[in-house]
């Protein structure tokens, strides 16, 4: 687990380099990065929502002059959703953890930054860090049963919770696209909308993670300078790069395992182009945070997601082509297996 958290920190440093103008600044960033990498704790479990929020309040209380603590919204259950703004640099960075409540890896990163940032004044002078320790506290609480391990697939499945698409933070931003519209953001999405409006971010990092397979990335701009590093990161840390196809056929592949972000607009257009069915009948939920950035004119904001798995197998790195077997065949075979196991459950 230390590995994964270390990695997420490294992505940020790579991204920050885009904003730095001089080699001196880049050298300084790399030095800071190395020092931070060495100080990442060896986490053995995930933190509960109480622990994350408690830590946030303690940090705000300890550094009253450097931290602005505010609630950007209230969850469906009425719990406050806090955001901490740290530093006063000209570049605005927004990081939000637990957009999917079964994906808490990024909450470790935020928790780490809540202490580490104060040890590097350069980071506070060049950037303003807006951190949401947990944007979906209700859903995350429902996952806490597996946060202390044992980290087995069975335990994860047993205590797993994830809302349906129409209730997810990341999929209910208001949007109008051609004949489709969605105007009922969830409470948690409203909180994130407020955070985005308030911070007008130059960089947004949605801290998702995946369950299985190899690592891959979503990024809003083809920043090809950093792609080779992104591709190499997994192997330097004993992980695998996912070399298979994208999660959705309507994203653009910029490089191996690096894709344009998920977008409702692109999904609609894809259905419109390749089917004879009204796309509206196939859509549900709202826009993504990337859609929302465009919707409000923040088209130059860099949006990043890094999908790193809990469980991996070297099989994902095997790119042997199996003759005459398409992905369609494999997916259909998977569906047949699902049917078989359901049949066994009910009989």
Ligand X SMILES: *[C@@H]1O[C@H](CO)[C@@H](O)[C@H](O)[C@H]1NC(C)=O
Residues that bind ligand X (CB under 6 A): 50-51, 54, 58, 74, 76, 78, 88, 178-179, 187, 294, 297, 299, 318, 320, 322-324
| DSSP-based three-state secondary structure for 29 | helix
Considering the complex, what minimum distance in angstroms separates the CB of residue 345 from ligand X? 29
208 binds Zn ion (CB under 5 A): yes
Would you state the structure tokens that stand for residue 233, as one six-digit string? Answer: 């990161």
322, interface contact from ligand X, Zn ion, none, CB < 5-8 Å by kind: ligand X
299, interface contact from Zn ion, ligand X, none, CB < 5-8 Å by kind: ligand X
CA dihedral 327, 332, 337, 342 (to 10 degrees): 140
159, interface contact from Zn ion, ligand X, none, CB < 5-8 Å by kind: none
Give whichever of 133 and 279 is closer to Zn ion, judged by the CB atom.
133
177 binds Zn ion (CB under 5 A): no
Of 84, 83, 90, the C-alpha closest to 127 is 90
Residues in contact with 240: Cβ distance below 8 Å, sequence separation at least 6, in sequence order: 214, 215, 234, 312, 314, 316, 317
Give whichever of 33 and 210 is closer to Zn ion, judged by the CB atom.
210
Integer angstrom CA distances of residue 163 from 85, 121, 170, 171: 28, 39, 11, 11
Considering the complex, what minimum distance in angstroms separates the CB of residue 291 from ligand X? 8
Considering the complex, what minimum distance in angstroms separates the CB of residue 343 from ligand X? 27
23, interface contact from ligand X, Zn ion, none, CB < 5-8 Å by kind: none
Residue 239 is classified by DSSP as -
Backbone angles phi, psi at 209, to 5 degrees: -150, 165
Give whichever of 153 and 277 is closer to Zn ion, judged by the CB atom.
153
Tokens 């070399």 correspond to what residue?
243
Considering the complex, what minimum distance in angstroms separates the CB of residue 322 from Zn ion? 29
187, interface contact from ligand X, Zn ion, none, CB < 5-8 Å by kind: ligand X
Considering the complex, what minimum distance in angstroms separates the CB of residue 309 from Zn ion? 12
Give whichever of 29 and 239 is closer to Zn ion, judged by the CB atom.
239
Tokens 């004044």 correspond to what residue?
121
326, interface contact from Zn ion, ligand X, none, CB < 5-8 Å by kind: none
User: Residue 90: which region, alpha, beta or left (left: phi > 0; alpha: psi -120 to 50)?
Assistant: alpha
Helix H segments across the chain? 2-19, 23-39, 49-62, 105-116, 121-126, 137-141, 153-158, 187-199, 227-236, 264-274, 289-295, 327-346
Considering the complex, what minimum distance in angstroms separates the CB of residue 78 from ligand X? 4
208, interface contact from Zn ion, ligand X, none, CB < 5-8 Å by kind: Zn ion
Site for Zn ion in 61-120 (CB under 5 A): 100, 103
- The Cα 33–Cα 284 span in angstroms is 41
188, interface contact from ligand X, Zn ion, none, CB < 5-8 Å by kind: none
Buried b (16+ CB within 10 A) or exposed e, 92-129: bbbbbbbbbbbbbbbbbbbbbbbebbbebeebbebbbb
Give whichever of 100 and 141 is closer to Zn ion, judged by the CB atom.
100
Give whichever of 128 and 220 is closer to Zn ion, judged by the CB atom.
220
Considering the complex, what minimum distance in angstroms separates the CB of residue 228 from ligand X? 25
Q: Which residue is nearest to ligand X (CB)?
A: 74
Give whichever of 125 and 339 is closer to ligand X, judged by the CB atom.
125
Considering the complex, what minimum distance in angstroms separates the CB of residue 47 from ligand X? 9
How many beta carbons lie within 10 A of that of residue 41, not counting itself? 12
Bridge partners (DSSP) of residue 287 are 173
User: Where along the sequence are the contacts to Zn ion (CB under 5 A)?
Assistant: 100, 103, 208
């Amino acid at each position: 687990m230390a590995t994964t958290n270390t990695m997420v920190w490294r992505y940020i440093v790579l991204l920050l380099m885009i904003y730095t103008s001089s080699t001196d600044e880049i050298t300084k960033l790399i030095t800071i990065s190395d020092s931070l990498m060495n100080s990442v704790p060896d986490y053995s479990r995930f933190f509960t929502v109480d622990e994350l929020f408690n830590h946030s309040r303690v940090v705000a209380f300890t550094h009253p002059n450097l931290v602005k603590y505010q609630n950007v919204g209230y969850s469906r259950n009425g719990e406050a959703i806090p955001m901490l703004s740290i530093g006063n640099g000209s570049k605005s960075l927004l990081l939000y953890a637990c957009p999917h409540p079964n994906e808490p890896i990024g909450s470790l990163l935020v928790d780490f930054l809540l202490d580490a940032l104060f040890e590097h004044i350069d980071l506070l002078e060049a950037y303003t860090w807006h951190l949401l320790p947990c944007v979906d506290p209700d859903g995350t609480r429902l996952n806490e049963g597996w946060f202390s391990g044992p980290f087995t697939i069975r335990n994860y499945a047993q205590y797993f919770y994830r809302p349906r698409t129409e209730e997810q933070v990341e999929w209910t931003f208001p949007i109008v696209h051609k004949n489709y519209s969605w105007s009922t953001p969830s409470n948690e999405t409203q909180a994130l909308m407020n955070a985005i409006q308030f911070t007008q971010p130059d960089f947004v990092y949605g801290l998702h993670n995946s369950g299985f397979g190899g690592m891959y990335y979503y990024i809003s701009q083809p920043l090809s300078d950093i792609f080779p590093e992104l591709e190499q990161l997994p192997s330097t840390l004993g992980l695998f790069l996912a070399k298979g196809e994208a999660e959705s056929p309507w994203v653009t592949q910029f490089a191996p395992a690096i894709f344009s972000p998920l977008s409702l607009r692109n999904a609609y257009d894809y259905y419109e182009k390749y089917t004879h069915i009204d796309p509206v009948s196939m859509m549900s939920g709202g826009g993504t945070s990337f859609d929302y950035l465009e919707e409000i004119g923040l088209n130059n904001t860099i949006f990043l997601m890094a999908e790193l798995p809990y469980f991996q197998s070297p099989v994902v790195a095997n790119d042997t082509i199996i003759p005459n077997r398409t992905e369609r065949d494999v997916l259909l075979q998977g569906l047949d297996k699902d049917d078989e196991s359901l049949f066994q459950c009910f009989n």
